Amino acid sequence: MLSFGLTIVRHGETQYNKDKLLQGQGIDVPLSETGLQQAEAAGRYLRDLKFTNVFVSDLQRAQQTADIILRNNLHCAGIKVISDPLLKERSFGTAEGQPVEHLKNMAKAAGLSCPEFTPPAGETPEQVKLRVKAFLEALCQRMAADHPCDGEMALAPGTLGPPAGLADDGIHGVVPHALVVTHGAYMRLAVRYLVEDLNCSVPRGVKVSHIFSACPNTGICRFVVTLRHGDASRLPPIAIHCIFVNRKDHLKSLKEQP
């Protein structure tokens, strides 16, 4: 068996985020000044972790965030970064470039919640989940191929202990560790897929409403995935454990700045 850490980070803020406008796939803008600061803060928070594999959405805001995180990291100089279109944001079709409030009004008129509503020419939640599934299959296959002799355990000792609020929560003794940098709506659907479709365990005492809530810019989620030997790409794995979701401890330093 192979266990590996999976740390998923949302990109930093863009001007569209600040102005509460939908970006989706068709609008590819860089990080704002605040977004650059958020990415630097995330990089400092994760600087001591050794990522063995890195996967990034092919959109600019995610690429910038990943570059900054890796530049701050003490162990990732020269690491290969895989740009994967399967990680790009959900398409919001004709609603892209429009205020988020406009999407909410469209969803309300259709009698649906905003996450469940699909604008014209947009991706349905199920279509995004298919991309999530395809990415996870490729991820598991890559991790098994790259680390045939690492992490030969069901779970490292202490992996499932309560999070202490530290950057290395949940990954003590787990050598393979994938960093994924992607987008907010994609992450929300990915977490739901992991929990509802792949039976991922959730931390004790954490409300489901928090597990499925929107992730803030540079918010961090972490999982530990255990694969079956010899059939790594088949979902579900032996086990997936959620360590934490939507963590934003690193952003406190920005609020404390004068």
Residues marked active site are found at 11, 89
54, 76 contact by CB (below 8 A): yes
CA distance 177 to 175: 6
The residue written with tokens 């499925």 in the block is 212
Q: Determine the 3-state secondary structure of 123 from DSSP.
A: coil
Q: Tell me the two tokens of residue 172.
A: 């003590």
Q: Is 12 annotated as a binding residue?
A: yes
132, 183 contact by CB (below 8 A): no
Written as one letter, the residue type at 12 is: G
Q: Is 15 annotated as a binding residue?
A: yes
Q: Is 61 annotated as a binding residue?
A: yes
Q: Is 17 annotated as a binding residue?
A: yes
Q: For the chain, how many helices (H) and strands (E)?
A: 8, 6
DSSP 14: B
Contacts of 226 (CB under 8 A, 6+ apart): 1, 2, 3, 154, 155, 237, 238, 239, 240
Q: Is 204 annotated as a binding residue?
A: no
Q: Percentage helix, strand, coil, to 5, in the chain? A: 35, 15, 45
225, 127 contact by CB (below 8 A): no
Cα torsion 12, 179, 44, 250 to 10°: value is 60
The residue written with tokens 């530049």 in the block is 71
Q: Is 10 annotated as a binding residue?
A: yes
Q: Which pairing describes strands 53-56 and 177-182: parallel, antiparallel, or unpaired?
A: parallel
Residues at the annotated binding site?
10-17, 61
Residues at the annotated binding site for substrate?
10-17, 61
